[in-house]
Structure 1
């Protein structure tokens, strides 16, 4: 099994996919996104939730996460992937970066998107409730935290890439 050099975790809208792609490029490593893997194998996430339910989605997500961690490189996990006990155990062998974002910033990032857990009503309030529930898990699993709320995201990309390089030089 190849160890992933970096795993990105965090709430919906924190930028895990876009930042992950750029960090992978900066480090010259492959990029893997668990949500993209689920979509490729099973179809759009809202459709999976509607037709099969969250439990089936989480099982498929776990398979995707396991495959990504085995592959190595930079791995971006869906916001709820860390709730799985096996995933939590697996992350112990990897460098984990938590991406955070302020609610006022995430509101613009997730508005108009099809995110099943945010529902049709007050998506931001639902996002905040989900974050409150998951945040202790994120914090426990993370080796380092990076906020994506301010400034150009490229600055976050550079900080993460430098952290990985520094850790590998030790």
Structure 2
């Protein structure tokens, strides 16, 4: 089972992802952390090589991460890549949202290359929201609720979704055994 967390910068994908992975007993991968570990700071990659170069590194990290079971936290812009969008079709996708009034403290002193202040964050989120929503199987707002409550909510959803898949698989097996197509 692979569960992918998407959403705008500073929505809490990494923090929530680590807790969700512990809760579900799955490995955790933060694709931004993979890029940083292998290539250096994202802000430096942007400054030295540009956004397209960073996006190629990000794409490689995403492809590797979603190919294995676990909880995967994507950088806010990773979903812009059509190949990543296609990869997400085979996973469970959780969209983490956050209100602008809750984001100011989270982005203060940020080293995010595309988010320099609250207004740039709002523009970025406005542009990406339709894509985020089209990819999401489940949405949770991280603005003010306790992180552990959100983790439990997502864990319940994963369990419910898994139960539905198991029931469908059993029905398919029974139909096949009875000679039905």
User: Do both proteins adopt the same fold according to a TM-score greater than 0.5, normalized to the shorter chain?
Assistant: yes
Q: In 2, distance between residues paired with 1:97 and 1:77?
A: 11
**Match in the other structure for 1:142:** 136
**Match in the other structure for 1:132:** 126
Q: What TM-score comes out, normalization by structure 2 length?
A: 0.89
Match 1:32 to one of 20, 29, 41: 29
Q: Which has the higher contact order (CA 8 A, sep 6+)?
A: 1
**Match in the other structure for 2:7:** 10
Q: In 1, distance between residues paired with 2:120 and 2:97?
A: 16
1:20-79 per-position Cα deviation (integer Å, ceiling 9, x unaligned): 000000000000111001001100101111111101000000000001001221011000
Gaps of 5+ in 1: none
Gaps of 5+ in 2: 165-181
1:78 alignment partner, SS class: coil
1:84-128 per-position Cα deviation (integer Å, ceiling 9, x unaligned): 000001100110000000011111111111111123xxx100000
1:14 alignment partner, SS class: coil
**Match in the other structure for 1:58:** 55
1:98 alignment partner, SS class: strand
Q: In 2, distance between residues paired with 1:99 and 1:52?
A: 29
Q: In 1, distance between residues paired with 2:123 and 2:129?
A: 10
Match 1:71 to one of 68, 76, 95: 68
Q: What is the RMSD computed on CA atoms of the aligned residues?
A: 0.8
Q: Report runs of 4+ in structure 1 exceeding 2 Å deviation.
A: none
Where do 1:59-138 residues align within 5 Å? 59-119=56-116, 123-138=117-132
Q: What TM-score comes out, normalization by structure 1 length?
A: 0.94
Question: Max radius of gyration: which structure?
Answer: 2
- Aligned residue pairs total 164
